[in-house]
Structure 1
Amino acid sequence: MNTFESLQAGTTTEQALALYDSLDPVDLDFMLGRWYGSGFPTQHRMDGLLEAYGWYGKEFHDNDQVDPMLFKNGNDQIICINPERIPLWLLTSNFPAPKSALAGRFFSALMPLLKTQKPKAHLRMTEFRGKVSATMIYNGHPIHDVFRKVDDNTLLGMMDLIGMTQPFFFVLKRD
């Protein structure tokens, strides 16, 4: 069996799914707090995209108030981005989203237009791939991020989005 550590540098979707399915679910209380995000490469077209744009992670205030998209701007300030201002077709189409430093600086310049002061997601327990686990549900998009426990400070998340042909995986580490 492949371990989290051995797959974190890059793997296939099939191996990531096998690892994900082997991990324990988490409850809602486990999720509370701020989490630092990073990629879990599986040759998905979104691999590296969030990091190129300054993705910081997520913050779970309580079950009904979640900041799903925290980014660092050019001044290293953490900004809450409103995912409803990002067109959903960017995630489900074959549009080649640029992952360069220049694209990241452009996104950072747009952050004032994308930021929000209001939480844009909530947490619920849902059944997914045979286990009931904490799930972050975006308020304005049909996206569910379902979490599994790697250890007491690490989660493997999988984005479930209708229309996305390959699952997108990411890691959250307790901040």
Structure 2
Amino acid sequence: MDTNNKKVNTELLNEILSNREGDVSDVLRIYDQLEPVNLDFMTGRWKGYEIKTGHSLDGMLVPSGWYGKVFKSPEEVHPLVFFAKNKTQLYAVNPKKLSMDVKVPNNIIGVLMSLAKPFLQTKKSGARLRMIEYRGKATATMQYDDKPINDHFVKIDENTVLGLMDKKGDSPNFPYAFVLERDNESNYQIKF
């Protein structure tokens, strides 16, 4: 892979992916070396995991039951999709009803998400995709409808992207990092 005349440091990339953590400067360097993606590339269902960098949101997704994201079209994106209690079904959450500024202890966040499911669940999309320039390149970016947050994606391979969450008020040099893996073949039931 070669983008902007920068060779991707595959050893560092593989280390970050296998450990699911890394120094934020290394994650940003890898992001800058990877190719941008277009809107069509993002269509589908994606399972995610975080890359721990010391961000304030680190450690919240797994215990909350987060599954990933679903991109039906550029205008219909479900940015927060979670596992139901039985782990065989998925449901979308209305991002407007979640606070990203409240830190909940990891040992109770899953219980709270399960109890709040009837209140949080939605069939409406909560985001859209646009091509937006970030860190010097235009790439597919998910914009939340009701939050000042953009998730920017770059291509690791045909079925994997690195995402950086750019939240208004956060340092541009310390975004929340995560990976999405294409998951169009799984049997999880989801109702939109």
TM-score (norm 2): 0.84
The match for 1:99 among 76, 94, 106 is 106
Shift of 1:97: 2.7
Given candidates 78, 88, 96, the residue that maps to 1:84 is: 96
Q: How does 1:119-130 map to 2 (within 5 A)?
A: 119-130=125-136
Counterpart of 1:25?
A: 36
1:20, distance to aligned residue in structure 2 (A): 0.6
Alpha-carbon distance in structure 1 between the residues aligned to 2:103 and 2:41 = 35
SS at match of 1:103: helix
Query: Could you tell me which residue of structure 2 aligns to residue 148 of structure 1?
Result: 154
The alignment status of 1:6 with 2:20, answered yes or no, reads no
Q: Identify the match of residue 39 of structure 1 among 34, 37, 50.
A: 50
Over the aligned positions, Cα root-mean-square deviation in angstroms equals 1.2
TM-score normalised according to structure 1 size: 0.92
Q: Which runs of 4+ in 1 moved over 2 A?
A: none
Q: Does 1:50 align with 2:61?
A: yes
Partner of 2:146, secondary structure, is coil
Q: Which residue of 1 aligns with 2:86?
A: 75
Identity %: 41
Kindly indicate whether the alpha-carbon contact (under 8 Å) linking 1:68 and 1:121 is maintained by their aligned counterparts in 2.
yes
Query: Could you tell me which residue of structure 1 aligns to residue 123 of structure 2?
Result: 117
Which residue pairs with 2:181 in the alignment?
173
Q: Which SS does the other structure have where 2:26 is aligned?
A: helix
Counting matched residue pairs gives: 169
Whole-angstrom CA distance in 1 between matches of 2:79 and 2:47? 11
Whole-angstrom distance in 1 between the partners of 2:109 and 2:118: 16
> Does the 8 A contact of 1:158 with 1:169 survive in 2?
yes
Between the aligned partners of 2:178 and 2:142, the Cα distance in structure 1 is: 13
